[in-house]
Amino acid sequence: MINIVDRKAGPTISKYIYGHFAEHLGRCIYDGLYVGTDSTIPNKNGMRTDVVEALKNIRIPVLRWPGGCFADEYHWKDGIGETSTRKKIVNTHWGGVTETNHFGTHEFFELIDQLGCDAYINGNVGSGTVQEMQEWVEYMTMAGESPMSEYRRENGREEPWTVKFFGVGNESWGCGGNMRPQYYADLYRRYQTYVRQYDKEKIYKIACGPNVDDYQWMEEVMKSAAPFMDGISLHHYALTGAWEEKGSALNFDEKYWWSLIKSAEKMDELITKHSTIMDTYDPEKRVGLIIDEWGSWLAVEPGTNPGFLYQQNTIRDAMVAAVTLNIFHKHAERVQMANIAQTVNVLQAMLLTEGSALVKTPSYHVFDLYQVHQDAQRVESYGDTIDNMSYTVSKEGDVLNLSICNYALEGDQALHFQLESLIKGVPSSRYIQGAEMDSHNDFDHPQEIIIRSFSDYAIEGNNLTLTIPAKAVLTIQLELMDLK
Ligand code: AHR
């Protein structure tokens, strides 16, 4: 039995935990989000209508752009002005393809506007100057008269935009400059000084944090720069084994089912240990841990460009998503934002596109099932630990949200929850399930995994009993009688 302490409210689960990431990588931006105004694919000002609609449906709260590794090679002035005259560059990190710069600052904010979400811009420290970063912020956010706001007006935009989050460099320990932590910490202090506050909306500044378990990086950067930051990033991808031997997204055996999920579960240990270091320099937990890259990183689909990181997405990836989101909820006091990599056609994508066709992945459906937790308050629980089962509870008003992931390969699992309050009704109860461990949606079978209504539960007073099938993720909402 599991007891749910529903009359006590825990910390708010920030909606930004449900954030996304879009890099100039493969077919994420071009083809995925942006097709241009001349495309026959239905679009509004160049943005794919079907993709925008799908992302709005899961209430995307924030989008990180333009990278990733691309961010530290991106020079924003290449991406403004008349599209046909924009400088073409080589996307050296990702396949060595030509980057037309047709999608730039104005297009990004058009997308943000259509999505109705907040902007997370990642600035260039690796190959950019302080002046370039300062001018970009001025260009985007300055309302009055200034050289950069005039420049923006010349390019057709009168009003400034709101930049909610700004990252100062990406993976500065690797593709962002191969720096050592002390050197980066000093650069961070310097660059962030010129991320000026032109707008009334405070810019939340994010320092580049560690890769996976590089605790020394966290220690050094927090020690030297904590007072100058609002957040610090952490990157951890779920792998099936060694980094160099990425497993297939579709053709895998049971061993790789477990190894990928175990790798995702490591997020709990990573957040715990990094938070402990952060506590030394920030005991008030003012600085957020920002997991701005996470998700499954598997082998690319055969026949696709290895630099495009295009992978299929199965019910196994849905397990990774649910298990990880549950971990973020557990650490809601410290985790203020997370951005799964990457929105369309790259890594653990929400959506896959081929021409005008669109497929929603099982991971997309997890974000759909879990959207009830955005900005809800975490609720504590205690009791039996059940193998291969991960769950999370939150509440908003008099509605309790319970999400459960059964990642066992075989066998239904009966669960018994006892609440403090009486259960009055069930506003919604929905789930996804994979018949096989590699069940997925593709362009021939886009509805193999869809959200279905879940009815295998019984309620008596303040007791809830459910039977969850294997390879399933479910969210049930309970209306409570006397929830305070
Ligand atoms: O998401 C793909 C890449 O992974 C990003 O560009 C980089 O930051 C990370 O190594």
CATH number of the domain that residue 329 is part of: 3.20.20.80
Q: Report the candidate in 299, 301, 442 with the shortest Cα–Cα distance to residue 362.
A: 442
- Ligand 1 centroid distance, CA of 257 (Å): 23
Ligand 1 pocket, Cβ-based, cut-off 6 angstroms: 23, 67-69, 170-171, 293, 341-342, 347
Check whether residue 245 and residue 128 sit in a common domain: yes
- Ligand 1 centroid distance, CA of 69 (Å): 6
CB atoms within 10 A of CB 31: 18
Kindly report the CATH number assigned to the domain that includes residue 392. 2.60.40.1180
Q: Which two tokens stand for residue 451?
A: 């959200």
Check whether residue 24 and residue 132 sit in a common domain: yes
* Residues 6 or more apart whose Cβ sits within 8 Å of residue 53: none
Atom of ligand 1 nearest to the CA of 176: 8
Q: Which two tokens stand for residue 295?
A: 């998700």
Among candidate residues 107, 110, 138, 293, the one labeled active-site is 293
Check whether residue 455 and residue 470 sit in a common domain: yes
| Site to substitute for ligand 1 among 122, 175, 347, most atoms within 8 A of C-beta | 175
Check whether residue 171 and residue 287 sit in a common domain: yes
Query: Which of 360, 376, 392 corresponds to the end of one domain?
Result: 376
Check whether residue 358 and residue 391 sit in a common domain: no
pTM above 0.75, yes or no: yes
Query: Residue 412, by phi and psi: left (phi above 0), alpha (psi -120 to 50) or beta?
Result: beta
What is the residue with the minimal CA distance to atom 2 of ligand 1? 68
Atom of ligand 1 nearest to the CA of 174: 10
For this structure, is 293 an active site residue?
Answer: yes
- Ligand 1 centroid distance, CA of 193 (Å): 26
Q: 136 φ, ψ to 5°?
A: -65, -45
Q: Tell me whether residue 316 is in a domain.
A: yes
- Ligand 1 centroid distance, CA of 406 (Å): 29
pLDDT < 50: residue spans in the chain: 483-484
For this structure, is 107 an active site residue?
Answer: no
Q: Tell me whether residue 5 is in a domain.
A: no
- Ligand 1 centroid distance, CA of 202 (Å): 27
Check whether residue 288 and residue 428 sit in a common domain: no
Q: Tell me whether residue 157 is in a domain.
A: yes
Cα 15 to Cα 304: distance, rounded to the nearest angstrom: 34
Domain count, the chain: 2
- Ligand 1 centroid distance, CA of 459 (Å): 45
Q: Report the candidate in 464, 462, 463 with the shortest Cα–Cα distance to residue 454.
A: 464
Q: Report the candidate in 307, 287, 289 with the shortest Cα–Cα distance to residue 27.
A: 307
CA distances to 35, 78, 155 from 106, rounded to whole Å, are 15, 12, 9
Check whether residue 341 and residue 415 sit in a common domain: no
Check whether residue 145 and residue 201 sit in a common domain: yes
Check whether residue 391 and residue 365 sit in a common domain: no
| Site to substitute for ligand 1 among 23, 72, 122, most atoms within 8 A of C-beta | 23
CA distances to 339, 410, 433, 471, 476 from 436, rounded to whole Å, are 28, 10, 9, 8, 23
Query: Which of 376, 408, 432 corresponds to the end of one domain?
Result: 376
Q: Tell me whether residue 352 is in a domain.
A: yes
What is the residue with the minimal CA distance to atom 6 of ligand 1? 68
Q: Report the candidate in 195, 221, 64 with the shortest Cα–Cα distance to residue 130.
A: 195
Check whether residue 312 and residue 166 sit in a common domain: yes
Domain enclosing residue 423, as ranges:
379-480
Atom of ligand 1 nearest to the CA of 171: 8
What is the residue with the minimal CA distance to atom 5 of ligand 1? 68
Query: Which of 376, 396, 428 corresponds to the end of one domain?
Result: 376
